[in-house]
Amino acid sequence: MKPIPHPPCHASLARSGRLVLLPLLLLFTSQPVAMALDEAATLALLVRTIRQTDQDTVRAALMKGMLRGLEGRRNVQAPDDWSVLAEALSRSDNASIRESADRLSQIFGDAAATERALATLRDSSAPGAERQAALGSLVTQRYEGLADELEGLLEIEALHLDAIRAYGIIAKQDAPNILLARYADAAPQSQRAIIETLATRKAYAKALVRGIKTNIVPREHIPSYIARSLRDVLGKEFTEVYGEIPELQKNTREMIDKYKRLITDEVLASADARRGRVVFQKTCGACHLMYAAGGKVGPDLTGSNRANLDYLLLNSVDPSGDVPEGYRTQLIQTVDGRVLTGVLAEEDNRRVVLKTVDQPRVVIAKEDIEARKVSEKSMMPEGQLDQLSRKDLFDLVKYMQTKSQVEAAK
């Protein structure tokens, strides 16, 4: 694809690799100098740069940067000449460039681009990744007709999880019934996604409580951070069904001493680290990495002082005793009634990005935030060790003290 003609005064900008990347860095860095830049002017500069370059790699990089900088946004004013550039990019031989141009057009409020995304989503012959991208863009743009599409997407393996999560953003009155009807037969990851989604809206949360009451959703499937969120949203309506949520242990030292009396060298000598890995995956792996496997909500435990029993017990018995600022629980309520719980991944003057147990990246535009609170409590549940059988406890500690990965027990 050849450069799109433009006044020659910008030609040097397109030829210089450093200058091509400069506006990208200025727009999307979170440093104060970038905060002061006028977004419209910077977007216009990027569009002019893309028009002038004849290198697909540069075009792709700049549009990827624009998409990252505008992530979670909608109805942004289109830069001058965007429609001309988008039309030219739509004829590119590079599929990635065409897709990025379409996604940007949606952010800029182009109805035709939205219709193309909808057509891709409905196209059963389209690659799964393309349909996922189309669904994601339609969710971000709050496409009005998407709610009626989601139930059918639950039956498509490549779109199943994304469709569950989409109900949290695109409200639908019968969404709880649709999701709870599938809960019993769902895989564990899908069950977690259903619980997370139903906890995001008050009307959904009421249905989730009914699901707990009727044993559709086992009480033990509700993570502690979700339980705390539901208690805040519903109050007694939740706790009367779920029960009271244990607060932090006040007798931390006594609890640690109790576990140290149980977890002796003799007990650990006969424990099974391979089985302990399975226990870890069920109880800790959704939030923590260990040996490069697991979630990224909490700290990576691979290099921690986990071989030290005192350290391990202190952080397990009283996880909220000393929570690093970067791992404090963020509670966000949006103007459309969603309630989101996670830890802060990124923040700038336009958006907040959370990491949740179910999703590594949840982007919320600041204009969509109604209320926000930072909790002193960790998302890690209190009393987690109390929920384990003695064998599971011993096997977990044995695994936590390993120096290299072991094969999981069958």
The residues facing 329 across adjacent strands are 343
Q: What is the pLDDT of residue 304?
A: 76
Q: What is the pLDDT of residue 178?
A: 97
Domains of the chain (ranges; CATH) run: 8-109 (no CATH), 174-242 (no CATH), 252-322+381-400 (1.10.760), 329-374 (2.30.30.100)
pLDDT tens-digit readout, 144-178: 899 999 999 999 999 999 999 999 999 999 999 99
Region 282-299: what's the mean pLDDT? 84
Q: Are 328 and 374 in contact (CB under 8 A)?
A: yes
Among candidates 286, 298, 268, 289, which has minimal Cα distance to 399?
268
Q: Are 338 and 168 in contact (CB under 8 A)?
A: yes
Among candidates 205, 203, 161, which has minimal Cα distance to 182?
161
For the cut 50, the answer to whether the pLDDT of residue 35 exceeds it is no
CA–CA distance, 55 with 152 (Å, rounded to integer): 40
pLDDT tens-digit readout, 316-372: 887 776 677 777 888 899 998 898 988 898 898 889 999 887 788 899 999 999 999
On average, the pLDDT of the chain sits at 85
Out of 8-12, 20-24, 176-180, give the one with best mean pLDDT: 176-180
Region 23-52: what's the mean pLDDT? 65
Half-sphere exposure of residue 307: CA atoms within 13 angstroms, side-chain side: 5
Among candidates 240, 270, 305, which has minimal Cα distance to 394?
270
CA–CA distance, 346 with 363 (Å, rounded to integer): 9
Q: What is the pLDDT of residue 18?
A: 42
pLDDT tens-digit readout, 213-246: 999 999 988 887 788 889 988 999 999 999 887 6
CA–CA distance, 52 with 2 (Å, rounded to integer): 9
Q: Which amino acid is at 275?
A: R
